[in-house]
Amino acid sequence: MNEITSVRAREIIDCRGIPTLEVEVTVEGWAKGRFAVPSGLSRGSHEAFELRDGDTRFRGLGVRKAVENVNKIIAPAILGMDALSQREIDRTLLELDGTENKSKLGANAILGVSVAVAKSASSFLDIPFFKYMNQYAQILPLPQFNLINGGKHASNDLDFQEFIIMPEGAESFSESLRIASEVNFILRDILLEKYGKSALNVGDEGGFAPPISDVREALDVLSEAVKKSGYEDEIVYALDVASTHFYDRNEGIYTFQGLKLSREEMIEFYDSLISDYPIVSMEDPLYEDDFEGYAELTKSLDIQIVGDDLFVTNPKRLKKGIEMGAANAVLWKMNQIGTLTEAWDVAQIAMRNGYNVVVSERSGETEDETIADLSVSLNCGQIKTGAPVRGERTSKYNQLLRIEEELGENGMFAGKKWRKLY
């Protein structure tokens, strides 16, 4: 019968000690699926609504209201439904909420149920989750390892948010993880020698947060670590600029590290960085609503331009970007849109139109490893889930090691192929 027999939500805490929602769904009284909803600190203004309590508990960040919405509103509506009918269930969730941005029930409440249903279905069928979502799943993603943090993710004066390595020359996912870990060890030693113990502080996503304010200085330190590791020929770089956070909407300029730059000057700055460092991907290099600027930048720079705040995993914004030629990749975060089905469809729209998809974590993560499975299910070839340290990050990497083992010879590591998968 595949009937949903139980739906239960609870309040847990994420890696920052901030509450989030965990949902358990049971099928036929025994097959359980569980999902812990992540939460972002660096959020685009067009993301779906995350419901918080706003009272005195946890400085107003509790999620008891979202928990209650699951237990008292959503659960009665989907009990008895077929757990294998994901689209029908997600449609029911959207109808229960009835708002454009999930502001009635909360996108966190809705997503928690949506993904937990899918995981309970895979448990019921005794199929690994990545295969349940796509029986043809076979591509292990190339990770984007965030080794230096700045912006909203750190307490230093770096305006750019993430400085990333991509070991695309590795022969396997497991080798890419080993390379990144070894580079991270060396980076730690370099930072300690150059800046002292305070440089070993880490940001929200596990990357080091050294006392650096200059973008080039951060890239130079990262380059030094890569060269000392012996993997210089295997590694390329990526940046998450998160430029909306230092964009002045009133003046229409970008203010960072003492500079005040126009859109055109920002593009020139990026061009100079690409000339001096092996940067192959930039995320959110311009203000989140500057579709025209993104189109201009995408034409000017022959690299991957990833829209996070630009697209917020939203089909309407992605379609607008495709029509205008703005960016050429989408950062894929389920909680930006609210249901598994909607997020899945956004990825399909992107890939059908030649846009890359980068499955991504949030700064507020838990030990939940679901996005690791989904990165393989989508066959998208890229995942971004932080530094290779701390349990909320390594849970994803360790799950990918298990999937790599399970796929065996049937699996393919994206490696350098990430550029031309579709």
**For residue 299, which phi and psi values (nearest 5 degrees)?**
-70, -35
Whether 205 is a known active-site residue: answer yes
- Please give the C-alpha separations between residue 186 and each of 114, 194, 329, in angstroms, as whole numbers: 41, 12, 31
Looking up tokens 């509506």 gives 77
Query: What single letter denotes the amino acid at residue 328?
Result: N
Helices (H), 314-358: 315-324, 340-352
Distance between CA 23 and CA 118 in Å, rounded? 12
Of 235, 259, 232, whose CA–CA distance to 248 is shortest?
Answer: 259
The C-alpha atoms of residue 281 and residue 325 are separated, in whole angstroms, by: 16
- Cβ proximity of 277 and 219 under 8 Å: yes
333 is catalytic: yes
Q: H-type helices in 244-304, by residue range? A: 263-276, 291-300
Give the bridge partners for 9, in sequence order: 23
**Are residues 179 and 234 in contact, defined by beta-carbon separation less than 8 angstroms?**
yes
CB burial of 244-260 (b: ≥16 within 10 Å; e: otherwise) equals: bbbbeeeeebbebeeee
Distance of CA 102 to the CA centre of its chain: 20
Nearest alpha-carbon partner for 30 in 122, 113, 118, 123: 123
**Structure-token pair, residue 256:** 């960072």
In the set 333, 342, 369, 392, the catalytic residue is 333
* Catalytic-labelled residue, pool 205, 234, 288, 342: 205
Lookup result for tokens 């590290």: 257
Residue 295: count of CB within 10 angstroms of its CB: 17
Q: Mind telling me the catalytic residues?
A: 205, 333
